[in-house]
A and B are shown apart, each in its own frame.
Chain A
């Protein structure tokens, strides 16, 4: 008889808590989906299981000793540190909010609630793994665990041709990006003979310049890895898929792609750059410079001409990837601005897509700016909430977006990249134009055709609270900055 012992020591298990909570919730949703007879019961219970998983994950993460030094667990495959906990709390919040704001819209886009919840929770378990990955294999595994459910989710809407097109596009391009990432990892492994971030950093510190930081093979691998990760955060020039996929996928899925997926990918990017290859920052910062500049220009210019709100938010997301990358220039001092920007952007964009879903009151998805015309007269409260999220994305005070932009621009200026920061400020002006176009349509234009609104007060309340949180962070950004800085300073 084998005695029952836990496979890992309990300290490691606490550090794994959030990840395990979400993984078990994913299995729970599957179990629920095969247990209940009726469709509604399956949907409702899977929703509850998903929410409980998110709650437990957030709870476990906030219990972490934030001041404690980080350490590697499970034989160096994962990190347990404040950075993981920061993103655990963020991801758990995003998971809960995604489920809540999407709940009433799934019928409209012909997606089965239990299937949506199951795949969303499974995808989030990949994200939880991703933010704590401490070696390249775990990173790759996590990226795939996150992406595969999202590919399916994009095409889950029954009978939607655009959804199928989006799913196929995302799958093919995503696989290509994964292959390029894997090729980069192979080259890096070939040079450093190690998979773990700490070991790679150790190799670079001890090897000679020719075989280490200046090694062309190593730099090629690093560049390829940046391509793969750049695809996931949708930084230009690897952004081509974003508008089509965001537009074609059902809005609940777009919500998840724009917030959770990007946040996790950004966290993994920062962890890799800061944890493994910090010594070669002279080289990769040039690439990040180019990515940031191109993203800010391509995103903002692309968004100007859009009449479809989902496409507009997709292009603006590309621009936000650019602003986000500015925060990386604060390395090696700790990229708190980057982490803070990721958190603020994810919350704001989730709110914007959530409010967009709330406005679906004509039996189809709200997608065009003119669908929102006169929303301020029909639903003044929800229009105010949407306005807050849009202003936050535009970076107008006193919203969270302004505070976050402030920190990333400050990081770029302090690192001596004044030109890039100026470019960021200039392109933000374009951003203000197209976000305000939506705001003006909501408040100034005459209502298109008013039909009976059948909206959920719960979703409205949650979105309202999220808007208040965005305003609160905008007025008092100090605490979030403190947490983000504390979390990110442990990376280096």
Chain B
């Protein structure tokens, strides 16, 4: 029999069970006082039903771009951190300085965003 795949089955069961548990437990604990506002599906503060050609805040874009800076950073740093110990044994500090350079470049980008005032939600225009 394919007992090798038992772990996958257990994982699937745990995943489904976890979702059911997370939905069921609050159902038992929370008070239930629905109103129309609460029943609207959550869509980052926008009205979820209607035409998609509405004007919405352009700041969503800049926030998404700022997010990319951190996102890319973590995508590359996580696997690097996992194997760093073995890399250190074979290649010494080279991997450390490589990642240092990478993060430094991203940090300059972050600092630029900060200086441009893109990290503040309300005041976005820099005084010329």
Task: Please give me the residue from chain A that is nearest to B114 by CB atom.
Answer: A34
Is A286 in the interface zone, CB < 8 Å from B? no
Let me know if B18 is at the binding interface, CB within 8 A. no
A187 at the interface (CB under 8 A from B): no
Q: A2-B93, A3-B93 are in contact. Are A30 and B109 (CB under 8 A)?
A: yes
User: 1/0 contact trace for B92-120 toward A, CB 8 Å?
Assistant: 11101110010001001101101110000
Residues of B within 8 A of A446 (CB): none
Are B93 and A30 closer than 8 Å at their CB atoms? no
- Taken together as a complex, chains A and B put the C-alpha atoms of A280 and B93 apart, in Å, by 43
Query: Quick one: closest A residue to B101, CB to CB?
Result: A7
- Chain A residues, Cβ within 8 Å of B94: 5, 7
Q: In the assembly, what is the distance between CA of A4 and CA of B115, in Å?
A: 30
Q: Is the CB of B112 within 8 A of A5?
A: no
Cross-chain contact of A39 among B97, B108, B116, B128 (Cβ < 8 A): B128
- Is A6 part of the contact surface with B, judged by Cβ < 8 Å? yes
Asked if A168 is at the interface (CB within 8 A of a chain B CB), the reply is: no
CB closest residue in chain A, given B128:
A39
Consensus secondary structure, chain B interface: helix
Residues from chain B with a CB closer than 8 A to the CB of A30 are: 108-109, 111-112
Which residues of B lie under 8 Å from residue A39 when comparing CB positions? 128
| The one of B96, B101, B105, B116 that contacts A34, using a Cβ cutoff of 8 Å | B116
The count of residues in chain B whose C-beta lies closer than 8 Å to any C-beta of chain A is: 16
Closest to B99 in A: A7
B92 and chain A: residue at smallest CB distance? A5
Kindly supply a per-residue 1/0 record for chain B positions 66-97, scoring 1 wherever the CB is within 8 Å of any chain A CB and 0 otherwise.
00000000000000000000000000111011
Asked if A33 contacts B128 (CB within 8 A), the reply is no
- Expressed in whole angstroms, the Cα–Cα distance for A34 and B110 within the complex equals 11
Q: Which residues of A contact B109 (CB under 8 A)?
A: 30
Kindly report which residue of chain B lies nearest to residue A23, judged by CB atoms.
B105
Q: Write out the residue numbers on chain B whose beta carbons fall within 8 Å of the beta carbon of A458.
A: none
B110 → A minimal CB distance (Å): 11
A6 surroundings in chain B (CB, below 8 A): 97
Interface readout for B25-68 with A: 1 if CB under 8 Å, 0 if not?
00000000000000000000000000000000000000000000
Q: Mark A316-349, 1 if CB is under 8 A from B, else 0.
A: 0000000000000000000000000000000000
Whether B108 contacts A27 by the Cβ 8 Å rule is yes
> A33 — nearest CB in chain B belongs to which residue?
B112
B93 x A31 contact (CB < 8 A):
no
Min C-beta distance of A333 to chain B, whole Å: 40
For B96, give the chain A residue with the smallest CB separation. Answer: A2
A1-21 residues at the B interface, CB under 8 angstroms: 2-7
What is the chain A residue whose CB lies nearest that of B116?
A: A34
Q: A39 CA to B126 CA in the complex, in Å?
A: 11
B70 CB, nearest partner CB in chain A, Å: 18
Complex CA gap A34/B108 in Å reads 10
* Bound form: Cα–Cα A7–B104 in Å: 14
Cα separation A369 to B128 with both chains bound (whole Å): 37
Q: Is the CB of A34 within 8 A of B92?
A: no
What is the bound-complex CA distance between A7 and B108, given in angstroms? Answer: 20
Which residue of B is nearest A42, CB measured? B128
Residue among A2, A7, A33 with the highest chain B CB neighbour number at 10 A: A7
State whether B93 touches A34 (Cβ < 8 A).
no
Residues on A with beta carbons closer than 8 Å to the beta carbon of B108: 27, 30-31
Cβ A7 vs Cβ B97 within 8 A: yes
Residue of A nearest to B113 (CB): A34
Complex CA gap A444/B115 in Å reads 53
B100 to chain A: closest CB distance in Å?
A: 9
Q: How far is the CA of A34 from the CA of B101 in the complex (A)?
A: 20
Hey, which chain A residues are within 8 Å of B96, CB to CB?
Answer: 2
- Which among B96, B111, B112 has the highest number of chain A CB atoms within 10 Å? B112
In this complex, which of A4, A30, A33, A39 has the most chain B Cβ atoms within 10 angstroms of its Cβ?
Answer: A30
Residues of A within 8 Å of B111, CB to CB, are 30-31, 34
* Docked pose: A5 CA to B95 CA in angstroms: 10
* Chain B contacts for A27, CB-based, 8 A: 105, 108
How would residues 32 to 61 of chain A score, 1 for a CB under 8 Å from any chain B CB and 0 otherwise? 011000010000000000000000000000
Give B108's nearest chain A residue, CB to CB: A27
Contacts of A3 in B (CB 8 A): 93
Q: Provide the residues of chain A in CB contact with B128, threshold 8 Å.
A: 39
Kindly report which residue of chain B lies nearest to residue A28, judged by CB atoms: B108
* Shortest Cβ distance from B105 into A: residue: A27
Which residues of chain A are near B97, meaning CB under 8 Å? 4-7
Cβ contacts A to B, 28 pairs, < 8 Å: A2-B93, A2-B96, A3-B93, A4-B93, A4-B97, A5-B93, A5-B94, A5-B97, A6-B97, A7-B94, A7-B97, A7-B98, A7-B101, A27-B105, A27-B108, A30-B108, A30-B109, A30-B111, A30-B112, A31-B108, A31-B111, A31-B112, A33-B112, A34-B111, A34-B112, A34-B115, A34-B116, A39-B128
4 closest A-B pairs by beta carbon, nearest first, are: A34-B115, A2-B93, A7-B97, A30-B112
Which positions in B face A, CB cutoff 8 Å? 92-94, 96-98, 101, 105, 108-109, 111-112, 114-116, 128
Known: A4-B93, A34-B111. 8 other contacts (CB 8 A): A3-B93, A7-B97, A27-B108, A30-B108, A30-B109, A34-B112, A34-B114, A39-B128
